[in-house]
Amino acid sequence: MILYALTFASACFGLGLLVTLWRLVTGPSQADRILALDTMVINFIALMVLYGIWQGTQIYFEAAMLIAMVGFVSTVAFCRFILRGDIIE
């Protein structure tokens, strides 16, 4: 039963990734693209956690944590760059 739920959840998050990719490509403003990238990172974290449950190891949680940190920093850096023209003033 868990396998079915894992498949369903993976399909949902994969679909979410596709939709946000579409938003990343077509998004009218720069802020839309940053938002789409941020949401893609979050969906990818969920996919990694699901893969970790499926494989039964703990390693993927560490990787998901790292990706969460890198995603946050990159979103803030993009926004700072557009807002101020510089990342660290």
Question: Which residues in this chain contact another protein in the complex, by CB under 8 A?
Answer: 1-2, 4-6, 8-13, 15-16, 18-20, 22-23, 29-32, 34-36, 38-39, 42-43, 45-46, 49-50, 52-53, 56, 58, 61-62, 64-65, 68-69, 72, 75-76, 79-80, 82-83
Closest approach, Cβ 66 to another protein, in A, equals 10
64 touches 23 (CB < 8 A): no
Distance from C-alpha of 73 to C-alpha of 38, rounded to nearest angstrom: 10
Q: How far is the CB of 4 from another protein (least distance, A)?
A: 7
| Distance from C-alpha of 23 to C-alpha of 34, rounded to nearest angstrom | 10
Comparing C-alpha atoms, which of 7, 18, 19 is closest to residue 51?
7
Nearest distance in Å: CB 23, another protein: 5
